[in-house]
Amino acid sequence: MFRKVLIANRGEIAVRIIRACHELGVSTVAVYSEADRGALHVQVADEAVFIGPSPALESYLNMSKIVEVARQTGAEAIHPGYGFLAENPDFVRLCEEEGLVFIGPNSQAMALVGDKIRARQVVEEVGVPIIPGMKKSLDTLEDYRAAAREIGYPVMIKASAGGGGKGMRIVYREDDLLPALEAGQREAKAAFGDESVYLEKYLEEPRHVEFQVLADQEGNVVHLFERECSIQRRHQKIIEETPSLALDNELRFKMGEAAKKVMEIVGYTNAGTVEFLLDKDKNFYFLEVNARLQVEHPVTELTTGIDLVHQQLRIAAGEKLGFSQEEVSQRGHALECRIYAEDPANNFLPSSGRISYLREPVGPGIRLDGGVYAGFEVPIYYDPILAKLITWGETRAQACARMKQALEDYIIMGIKTTIPFLREVVQHPVFLEGKISTHFIPRYFSEWQPRPPSKESQKLALIGAALREMKEGRRASGQVIPAAEDSLSPWRILGPWRLGRRS
């Protein structure tokens, strides 16, 4: 095992990886930008090194700087987390050249799966079905227009270099192709430093089902079952779960074998995910390989009992997988909600600023992977994910009930978050029935607004504020206290004040 690992990331995932390292006796180096001096990952790491200005391009995406820090601090390996440099083949190559272990796939596999067009060709050749789409990257708008016509509208624009919904656009008509391409390329450039995009057929009503795979350096490959990630907004997953209600054991076996075959053919090593779309008739299509630890990895951990970050570290250190496919099983059901700093009542506008108050839920079957604390200033520069709330239950219904309660017990003040929105999603009858597809959110929640406040909660808020004001004994501005009255009594100095709007 390594003695020291550098974590080239921030936020909740950096915190989660640092904890896993410490559990294995590995010491950790955090890196941070100007905006992140106060960030949680800096606090929990053994060492922390400043790497540059706030924009990611000048800090978390600065490859040579990060490698230099690894050398200076004596780190033997770099864990990239997700996003930033996690799927950048140039970075993997740079690490290899510098004698640093990249905790992820080898550079050839990364380059292959990172080139989504080539990856699909390779995968198709071994008999795994793919979605109709472009077979090569294109130069001119005319080429894209012709390709879109051949595939047939609607088409999806996707960033070649990454996932997470960045750069992604659905185009229904040719008129909309040019502006969508431009916007997609700009977003792709900002998120991944690479503006190339490609087109593929957009399936209606699909489910998004992916398989977690682990592959060691000796060629052993196992999958750790599926995750269903159909609950998406703007092509960004917001709730994930496992197992998927859409799969029976036969389909699960078929898809699991296909996932392993994909990873074998691309020569993959370490943890990775094979994404599929499943159509209404239960046909599955290979989508892409996510060559990284994924945001939603905890649902797999809670149902299989396997710590994926530990496995990543072990595989990268050259250890052989400690279990076979037959030895892996799933127990119960797990759900994950992503908590974003976005205002769900205001078109999900990003909400940065200081977290003035934080209370995180606890209890049986509840796991919280967080990256923030009360007093933390959420910067504008990075992904708006604040934390992930994961619940486990013996059944899906129990996991959902726990999630509902945990979301209600989760208080974040000072910035807007998606918690109120998620709370309603996990109570929606169609969600509880499990009849979900990637169209669930657009169909049932596109015009979402917070429910009208209840009279009871208003009354309680009023009582709470009144008692707090009394406790503080604070003098309201401009309040005149008649001299005849006892000025020491809090009642005498409690001025008029108003219970304002619901925030």
Partner 1 sequence: MNFELIIGDELIPVVIEKTPHGWEIELGDEKVAVDAHWISENALSLIVKGKSYTIHVVPEGNGYLCYVQGELWSVARPQQDSDFGDEEQGAALGDKLKVKAPMPGKVIKINVEEGEAVRENQTLAVVEAMKMENEIKAAIEGRVKKILVSVGELVDADRVLIELEET
Chain contacts with partner 1 (rule: CB under 8 A): 166, 183, 186-187, 190-191, 234, 341, 346, 349-353, 356-357, 359, 380-384, 407-408, 411, 413-414, 420, 423, 453-454, 456-472, 476-478, 489, 491-492, 494-503
- Cα 304 to chain center, whole Å? 20
**Closest distance to partner 1 from the beta carbon of 453 (Å):** 5
Per-residue buried b or exposed e for 208-242, using 16+ beta carbons within 10 Å of the residue's own CB: bbbbbbbbbeeeebbbbbbbbbbbbbebbbbbbbb
**Closest distance to partner 1 from the beta carbon of 499 (Å):** 4
- For partner 1, the closer of residues 329 and 458 by Cβ is 458
Amino acid type, 357 = Y
- For partner 1, the closer of residues 173 and 451 by Cβ is 451
Closest to 213 (Cα-Cα) out of 101, 124, 328: 328
DSSP class of residue 162 equals: -
**Closest distance to partner 1 from the beta carbon of 34 (Å):** 13
**Cα 392 from Cα 336, distance rounded (Å):** 9
Amino acid type, 50 = F
**Closest distance to partner 1 from the beta carbon of 435 (Å):** 25
Q: Which residue has the tokens 């915190």?
A: 15
Closest to 357 (Cα-Cα) out of 421, 418, 411, 420: 411
∠ Cα 26 31 33 (to 5°): 165
- For partner 1, the closer of residues 146 and 465 by Cβ is 465
Q: Which of 292, 338, 367, 423 is catalytic?
A: 292
Looking at the DSSP bridge assignments, the partners of residue 411 are 359
- For partner 1, the closer of residues 146 and 499 by Cβ is 499
- For partner 1, the closer of residues 430 and 461 by Cβ is 461
Amino acid type, 164 = G
Q: How far is CA 437 from CA 116, 249, 253, 278, 450, in A?
A: 23, 20, 21, 9, 23
Structure tokens at 202: 């957009």
**Cα 337 from Cα 423, distance rounded (Å):** 9
**160 and 181 in contact (C-beta within 8 Å)?**
no
**283 and 204 in contact (C-beta within 8 Å)?**
no
**Closest distance to partner 1 from the beta carbon of 178 (Å):** 14
Structure tokens at 439: 């169209």
Structure tokens at 278: 């499943």
**Closest distance to partner 1 from the beta carbon of 446 (Å):** 17
Q: In what order do the strands lie in the sheet with 155-159?
A: 169-171, 155-159, 197-201
- For partner 1, the closer of residues 146 and 461 by Cβ is 461
**Closest distance to partner 1 from the beta carbon of 471 (Å):** 7
Peptide bond into 105 cis (omega under 30): no
- For partner 1, the closer of residues 237 and 314 by Cβ is 237
**Is 292 annotated in the active site?**
yes
> Which residues, 6+ apart, have CB-to-CB distance to 145 below 8 Å?
174, 177
- For partner 1, the closer of residues 125 and 501 by Cβ is 501
Alpha carbon dihedral 284, 288, 292, 293, in 10-degree steps, equals -20
**Closest distance to partner 1 from the beta carbon of 387 (Å):** 15
Peptide bond into 206 cis (omega under 30): no
- For partner 1, the closer of residues 141 and 499 by Cβ is 499
**Cα 58 from Cα 64, distance rounded (Å):** 11
DSSP class of residue 479 equals: P
Residues with a known catalytic role: 292
